[in-house]
Amino acid sequence: MNKIDKLLEELCPEGVEYKPLGKIGIFTRGSGLQKKDFTEAGVGCIHYGQIYTYYGTSANETKSFVHPNLAKKLIKVNPGDIIIACTSENIEDVCKAVAWLGTTEIVTGGHACVFSHKENPKYISYFFQTENFFQQKKRYARGVKVIDVKAIDLAKIEIPIPPIEVQNEIVRILDKFASLAAELQAELQAELQARQKQYEYYRNKLLTFTKNGGVRKA
């Protein structure tokens, strides 16, 4: 029996309860914040588009900032909150989430929701990557060219809520796998680049001949 099984047997022998997200936290829809609002320094911010292109499961620092005066008008994100991109061009990406693990309050804006809760932030963020979540969100996705999921519908999605000790162990295991995958990807990328350079060398070498029938240089 592994550690998770032992914890489940000890802490919730009757099984893990599923709860609507709206029962374990609060969703707040953002507004405002465009890329032209970014500044070199100021209050940290996460734009919904960056959730698709830059951030992973969690973040402890922001790529962008906004002026403090603008930050006062934007939705606040506290440490532990989840930021969800509620608008996308396709059903696969919509509702991609990032857990904010920084130590300071940041902000976000339009096309994003902030989910405030008391669970393990990365546990929630990992759940948003599961097939279970995907199948549920499809029921509430609206639109054709632009897909949107409303906060009121996100609140209806059910999530398994084991004791926090179990959540922590699940996150520890998934973090370990994610770290290993990142290492392997870096190694494969380095190998690919080496093979590409080797290919280019031999391509140029094998297709280079001396003129007038001379012997090709070794």
Tell whether 202 and 153 lie within a shared domain.
no
Query: Do 178 and 130 have their domain in common?
Result: no
User: Residue 193: what pLDDT?
Assistant: 93
Q: Kindly report the CATH number assigned to the domain that includes residue 155.
A: 3.90.220.20
The reply to whether 95 and 171 lie within a common domain is no
152 occurs within a structural domain: yes
Query: Is 156 in the same domain as 119?
Result: yes
123 and 171 part of one domain: no
* Domain limits for position 196: 1-16+162-207
With 0-12 / 13-18 / 19 or more C-beta atoms within 10 angstroms meaning exposed / middle / buried, residue 38 is middle
* Residue with token string 């409303």: 150
As averages over each run of 10 residues, the pLDDT of the chain (218 residues) reads 83 92 96 93 97 97 97 97 96 97 96 97 97 97 94 97 96 93 88 92 81 60
Please name every residue paired with 112 in a beta bridge, in sequence order, or none if there are none. Answer: 85
CA dist., res. 163 & res. 180, Å (int):
26
Which among 97, 89, 101, 109 is positioned nearest to 38, based on CA atoms?
109
> Which DSSP letter does residue 48 get?
H
Quote the pLDDT of residue 213: 59
Q: How far apart are CA 124 and CA 128, in angstroms?
A: 7
Name the nearest CA neighbour of 25 among 123, 101, 104: 123
Q: Are residues 82 and 157 in the same domain?
A: yes
Give dist(CA 68, CA 201) in Å, integer: 53
Q: What pLDDT was estimated at residue 89?
A: 94
What pTM does this model have? Answer: 0.85
Half-sphere exposure of 48 (CA within 13 A, CB side): 25
Say if residue 171 is in the same domain as residue 128. Answer: no
Bridge partners (DSSP) listed for residue 65: 39, 44
Residue 16's φ and ψ, nearest 5 degrees, are: -90, 130
Length of the chain: 218
Specify the number of domains making up the chain: 2
Residues 28 and 74 reside in one and the same domain: yes
